[in-house]
Chain A
């Protein structure tokens, strides 16, 4: 298992501790065994311990300790922002942030949406009695309401039934 992400000049890293938590920074120089000089477009260039950084896959092409202007140009050229936002790690962070900022009303709407999606796949017997009245009138006549069947309230489309019928025929023949 060799290392894949190296500390090098131009390596983009995520700050995982401290005042700049969550920011993407670029390693611009190495101070000593433990510390790097680190810079970002919206931050004053400063030293940071490697323990506070998590390396990402993204690197940019910069000379050692570039001026802020060249740094920003290089970041634009390498399209760091979009690469990050489209990477799975970056997307996960965005989702986490969105989830954390949900309103109480938003959480309620999310819950309703989840139930709506799962309704298609949960069997009838799982629903509590007081909710079953709500869809009693929409059930077909021959609906099997026993605990042993896993009939969903919305019967799945005929495709599955056809496949099952085909298998039955094969077994019979």
Chain B
């Protein structure tokens, strides 16, 4: 490599007009001193050895060629993002459920789970809604907020709500014709305890606000003259 100049060089070939240099090709050849480099190297331009190419494995010809050309599906590198929580939904917001068994019930929002679903509770004693997961799209967020800073929600995640796997028992012929005895599925006691623990704190803060308990116990419904697009929730 040639020695580096201390000051960067100004162009050897200044522009007369944009795109037209002052000196011709042959003049530039002389100015750049390419004749001197050639002379130093015995009349030939110096060349570097090319870098050795990495050895590739020997590819065998395939044994089978498909009859028609099969298109390869395009590569998909998408990573789905967690559902964006609406700005109006913060921990402690009162939500109105819009679908399902508890349609119209007003319910307290606790936190968003990793699957994107919202963890929600009645509280159970007030309106019969247990700790439950709910989709954000089926919910109206009101502007009423409750303080839930004292509640510990760490143990609740999507796995807590997973269905329990039943072991299927093989039936013998005799038992097949018996009336199917199904054990009534009972809620395990620890889930009831969890519900009570979460609700105990919530109910205290709810009773601090006048008429909030009756509000949560009542269901929401559209009455005559209410226009949803004009209502402020």
Task: Out of B142, B211, B218, name the residue touching A103 (CB < 8 Å).
Answer: B142
Q: List residues of B (199-226) whose CB comes within 8 Å of A's CBs.
A: 211-212, 214-215, 218, 220
Chain B residue, CB-CB nearest to A113? B211
A95-108, CB under 8 A of B: which get 1 and which 0? 00000111111001
A135 to B214, CA, bound (A): 18
Contacting pair A105 B214 (CB below 8 A)? no
**Does B232 count as interface, using CB distance less than 8 angstroms?**
yes
Q: List residues of A (93-128) whose CB comes within 8 Å of B's CBs.
A: 100-105, 108-109, 112
CB-defined contacts of B232 to chain A, threshold 8 Å: 100-104
Contacting pair A109 B211 (CB below 8 A)? yes
Smallest CB separation, B191 vs chain A (Å):
30
A108-B230 contact given A103-B143, A103-B144, CB 8 Å threshold: no
Contacting pair A104 B233 (CB below 8 A)? yes
CB-defined contacts of A108 to chain B, threshold 8 Å: 211, 214-215, 218
Contacting pair A112 B211 (CB below 8 A)? yes
A103 to B94, CA, bound (A): 12
What DSSP secondary structure best describes chain A's contact surface? helix
Contacting pair A105 B230 (CB below 8 A)? no
A105 to B95, CA, bound (A): 11
CB-defined contacts of A100 to chain B, threshold 8 Å: 230, 232
Given A104-B142, A105-B215: 7 more A-B contacts, CB < 8 Å = A103-B143, A103-B144, A103-B233, A104-B220, A105-B142, A105-B144, A108-B218
Smallest CB separation, B27 vs chain A (Å):
68
Contact surface of A with B, Cβ cutoff 8 Å:
100-105, 108-109, 112
A109 to B210, CA, bound (A): 9
CB-defined contacts of B214 to chain A, threshold 8 Å: 108, 112
**Does B198 count as interface, using CB distance less than 8 angstroms?**
no
Q: Categorize the interface residue count of chain B.
A: 10 to 19
Chain B residue, CB-CB nearest to A102? B232
Smallest CB separation, B107 vs chain A (Å):
13
CB-defined contacts of B143 to chain A, threshold 8 Å: 103-104
Chain B residue, CB-CB nearest to A101? B232
A101 to B233, CA, bound (A): 9
Chain A residue, CB-CB nearest to B232? A101
A112 to B214, CA, bound (A): 10
State the 6 A-B residue pairs at the shortest beta-carbon distance, nearest first: A105-B144, A104-B142, A108-B215, A104-B233, A109-B211, A103-B143
Task: Out of A101, A105, A109, name the residue touching B94 (CB < 8 Å).
Answer: A105
A102 to B226, CA, bound (A): 12
B62-98, CB under 8 A of A: which get 1 and which 0? 0000000000000000000000000000000010100
Q: List residues of B (126-149) whose CB comes within 8 Å of A's CBs.
A: 142-144
Chain A residue, CB-CB nearest to B94? A105
Smallest CB separation, B231 vs chain A (Å):
8
Task: Enumerate 9 A-B pairs (CB-CB under 8 Å) in ascending A order.
Answer: A101-B232, A103-B144, A103-B232, A104-B233, A105-B94, A105-B144, A105-B215, A108-B215, A112-B211
Q: Of residues A104, A108, A109, A112, which shows the largest number of chain B Cβ atoms within 10 Å of its Cβ?
A: A104
A109 to B144, CA, bound (A): 13
A104 to B220, CA, bound (A): 9
CB-defined contacts of B212 to chain A, threshold 8 Å: 105
CB-defined contacts of B144 to chain A, threshold 8 Å: 103-105
CB-defined contacts of B211 to chain A, threshold 8 Å: 108-109, 112
CB-defined contacts of B94 to chain A, threshold 8 Å: 104-105
CB-defined contacts of B142 to chain A, threshold 8 Å: 103-105
A129 to B94, CA, bound (A): 31
CB-defined contacts of B96 to chain A, threshold 8 Å: 104
Chain B residue, CB-CB nearest to A112? B211
A100 to B144, CA, bound (A): 16
A108 to B143, CA, bound (A): 13
